[in-house]
Amino acid sequence: MATKLNTRDAKTRKRLVELADAVAAAAERGRDPHVDIPARTLSNVRYNKTKRFIEMGRNTNRRQLFNLSQAKTFMQTMLVAQGVSELIAEQKTLSIRGLFYRLKHDVKGTKEPTFEDQAECDPVIEDVEVLLNSLREELHVFADLRGGMVGNLVLVDSGDEIDCSRLGSGGYAMPSIVEPEVIQFRKCDAEFVLHVEKGTVWQRFNEDKFWRKNNCILTHGGGQPPRGVRRMLYRLHNELKLPVYCLLDNDPWGYYIYSVIKQGSINLAFESQRMAIPDARFLGIRSIDFERCGLSDSVKIALSDTDRKRAKQIAGYPWFAHKAAWQKEIKRLLDNGFKLEVEALISRDISYVTEQYTPERLKAKDWLD
Amino acid sequence: MATKLNTRDAKTRKRLVELADAVAAAAERGRDPHVDIPARTLSNVRYNKTKRFIEMGRNTNRRQLFNLSQAKTFMQTMLVAQGVSELIAEQKTLSIRGLFYRLKHDVKGTKEPTFEDQAECDPVIEDVEVLLNSLREELHVFADLRGGMVGNLVLVDSGDEIDCSRLGSGGYAMPSIVEPEVIQFRKCDAEFVLHVEKGTVWQRFNEDKFWRKNNCILTHGGGQPPRGVRRMLYRLHNELKLPVYCLLDNDPWGYYIYSVIKQGSINLAFESQRMAIPDARFLGIRSIDFERCGLSDSVKIALSDTDRKRAKQIAGYPWFAHKAAWQKEIKRLLDNGFKLEVEALISRDISYVTEQYTPERLKAKDWLD
């Protein structure tokens, strides 16, 4: 290991070495090697009212080598840890798909593959994340490339200084890994972040130079924002002290996206502490907007049974359950019987959403928390 | 109309006015107003061996106002033309979703909506494209935002100068509309374009600084490249005279992506003349690569029945049918009985694809045409 590691990599590496040492020590003492992995189950997830995000409980599952039903997963866990260790040593990153291919082979002397398919590998990667208490990005593993950003922000990405106010119509493609070792903020004049759901809406805001007129940073996540986007929003919020406003569709999916940005994801609760933004605000589209904005019947999209079910589930989330405004919002959606996309505002005028709707809501501090 | 239009918009607007004049003139003369729309059917598509791309034939469908079965579509065609005309006048762009919302309303005095849903609007947008012989982008309408670029190229996007060699790990997010009025090339030192299928693979190449070491431009299309990416590749190829090499998965989907980049899309044949790149080259992954690269059985993915069927269809495309190398390539895929993703090469080594596979193929001029 000639490479000099940065602090974060050195820390992750230390945890990997401790993991390996514990297994080796058990083997040397003639004990059954095992690892205790925090349980990633719904029953081990709770909403922390003080921290205001979802976090994992303390339940763990023991995974033993000398247990017929656990031996394979134990081996897979060690394989992923080894793979990650190599990535850090080589100072390279891989997609979860790439890591899968790198680790997939037949176990020596057998026709038994280490991993059957990607679906068998992904949960083990998550296991190693929680086991090491490291974000996937710290393990040098990334998922999807999606989302974009533009606005009054100068950042440094891998040594390149990038002025996000000078990126034309395309903007800055959000990388999968936006950790401080890769990306540093150099200068920020923006006063807030506006996060919109879709790239098409983002283009409308960018074309109308909303971020310039309103001095903000404009981001989108290409639908449900991938981890890189959430982590970027988190860093913008916490390091640069920028409020984050979300403009999403008026449907259960939009509510859910907001919920994940705000409180974290239920499936991956362990990342909440470095992803969730409890102070994120929901600007719209609101259920009252059909009436308030004077929209016509033609923009209504009928709620499906699944929509109704999801809306009720979301209304029951602990972080929404005690908020009268949210209960009212969701009830109104159900009473309306229809949903509204952000694009529906275009029926008023092409730039209604950028020149009236959003500035007016911001000025009136008219949002849901 | 106070706004001064650029040449392209003036041209499109002229066509729109001619269309409107023809309809008005017919009405004034007491004739049945109609439009003749080039038929967008498979039977009206042919492979032009000289131009080496797919083009539309001369068949048209007449759409009349005073015909019960055509009146609605006639009205929709006029609506879309009017919407596009307004976009040009206001110098704004809209997503196809946005245009749909803008045009959707109940016909005056009825409960009949102009468009039932997006699926009813999209083909009419395509009709207007072929009717006016204008690319969708020239109509100020865009679709998806996907794909990215990095490399030895300086461009100007909406007045902002962007050095694509200084964009860190994220890169330049490819806009939906990359027409010369929006994007101009200022300086290009790159000698070729490497287009890869997926963002995850693109990240591997970017991290390994492939484009710097090999002096090229690196693009990806997030799977099947959207129109903006195809149009950008076309412009890089034709204006900057850069060869385009494609690195795609070894499966029928990869072949199809190559086919669309090279000869155009069968569904949207009218855009081929400004999208297709007949000289684009297929670098890999090839069916011989499993053996040639010494890959292990674990990376094989069995072909499905659909894969086999699609592979045979593609082998029958006129532009592949007479090429012995392509017939051999596809036959070998079928004989193999498995497909290979680009990521499979990672099983050899993390950077095998960027440091050996691709440079070696380029040096040996080892590609399919």
Nearest to A170 among B102, B157, B351 (CB): B157
* Beta carbons of A344 and B101 less than 8 Å apart: yes
- Among the residues of A2-70, which ranges form H helices? 7-28
Task: Compare CB distances from B170 to A87, A172, A344 and report the shortest one's residue.
Answer: A172
Residue of B nearest to A96 (CA): B200
Cβ–Cβ gap B160/A142 under 8 Å? no
Total Cβ atoms within 10 A of residue B173: 29
CA distance A142 to A122: 11
Report strand pairing: A192-196 vs A244-247.
Answer: parallel
Best residue of A82, A96, A158, A169 to probe chain B, by most B CBs closer than 10 Å: A169
Amino acid A1: pLDDT: 46
Q: Do the chains contact at A203 and B176, CB–CB below 8 Å?
A: yes
Which chain B residues contact residue A161 at CB under 8 A?
166
Cβ distance A101 to B173 less than 8 Å, yes or no, reads: no
Is the minimum CB–CB distance between B145 and chain A shorter than 8 Å? Answer: yes
Which residues of chain B does A177 touch, with a Cβ-Cβ cutoff of 8 Å?
169
pLDDT over 80 at B369, yes or no: yes
Closest residue to B169, CB basis, from A90, A182, A298: A182
Considering the candidates B101, B258, B317, B357, report the single residue annotated as catalytic: B101
pTM for the model stands at 0.89
Give the model confidence (pLDDT) of A41-66 as tens digits.
878 888 898 998 988 888 998 999 99
Exposure of B341 in the CB half-sphere (CA atoms within 13 A): 19
pLDDT at residue B145 above 80? no
Q: Which of B92, B100, B146 is closest, CB to CB, to A351?
A: B92
Distance to chain B for A173, nearest Cα, Å = 5
Q: Which residue of A has its CA nearest to B141?
A: A200
Cα radius of gyration (chain B): 23
pLDDT value at residue B1: 46
Architecture of the domain made up of A7-32+67-142: Orthogonal Bundle (1.10)
**How many angstroms separate the CA atoms of B12 and B307, rounded?**
41
Residue B57's identity, in one-letter code, is G
A contacts of B352 (beta carbons < 8 Å):
none
Is B168 in Cβ contact with A167 (below 8 Å)?
no
User: Which residues in chain B are contacts of A175 at CB distance < 8 A?
Assistant: 168-171, 203
B4 pLDDT band (50/70/90 cuts)?
confident
| Least confidently predicted of A281-285, A323-327, B26-30, B355-359 | B26-30
d(CA A115, CA A123): 11
Residues 157-216 on A with a CB inside 8 Å of B are 157-162, 166-177, 182-183, 199-204, 207-208
Q: Please check whether residue B142 touches A, CB under 8 A.
A: yes
Catalytic residues of A: 101
pLDDT at B3 over 80: no
Q: What kind of fold does domain A145-247 have according to CATH?
A: Dna Topoisomerase Vi A Subunit; Chain: A, domain 2 (3.40.1360)
Q: For residue A34, list its beta bridge partners.
A: A64
Nearest-CB residue to B343 (from A101, A162, A208) = A101
Q: Which helix (H) or strand (E) holds A236?
A: helix A227-239
* Residues of chain A predicted below pLDDT 50: 1
CA distances from A41 to A61, A127, A268, B139 (A): 10, 12, 9, 50
Determine, for residues B204 and A297 on separate chains, whether the beta-carbon distance falls below 8 Å: no
Interface size, chain A vs chain B, as Cβ–Cβ contacts under 8 Å? 185
Q: Which of A150, A153, A139, A131 is nearest to A227 (CA)?
A: A139
Mean pLDDT of B246-256: 97
Angle between helices B96-103 and A199-207 (to 10 degrees): 80
Asked if B112 has any chain A CB less than 8 Å from its own CB, the reply is no
Report residue B158 as tokens.
Answer: 């909406």
Flag if B350 and A92 touch (Cβ within 8 Å). yes
Q: CA A355 to CA A364: how far, in whole Å?
A: 14
Looking at residue B272, its pLDDT comes to 87
Q: Which helix (H) or strand (E) holds B61?
A: strand B60-64
Residues of A in contact with B148 (CB under 8 A): 145, 173
B 210-249 residues with CB < 8 A to A: 222
By the CB < 8 Å criterion, does A258 face chain B? no
Strands (E), chain A: 34-38, 45-48, 53-56, 60-64, 94-95, 141-142, 148-151, 153-157, 160-163, 172-173, 183-188, 192-196, 216-220, 244-247, 281-284, 301-302, 338-339
Band of residue B172 on the pLDDT scale cut at 50, 70, 90: very high
Mutation to test the A interface, candidates B346, B351, B352, B353, most A Cβ within 10 Å = B346
Distances (CA, A) of A181 to A8, A91, A159, B137, B166: 8, 12, 10, 39, 17
A116: contact with B, CB 8 A cutoff: no
Provide the pLDDT for residue B207.
Answer: 92
- B170: nearest Cα among B214, B203, B127, B205: B203
Helix (H, G, I), strand (E, B) or coil at A40: coil
Q: Round to whole Å and give the CA distance between A78 and B35.
A: 68
| CB burial readout A200-227, b (16+ within 10 A) else e | bbbbbbbbbebbeebebbbbbbbebbbb
Instruction: Please list every residue in chain A whose beta carbon sits closer than 8 Å to the beta carbon of residue B94.
Output: 204, 346, 350
Domain definitions of chain A by residue range: 7-32+67-142, 145-247
* B-proximal residues of A, 58-97, CB under 8 Å: 87, 90, 92-95, 97
Whose structure tokens read 């001619």?
Answer: B18
* The architecture CATH gives domain B147-247: 3-Layer(aba) Sandwich (3.40)
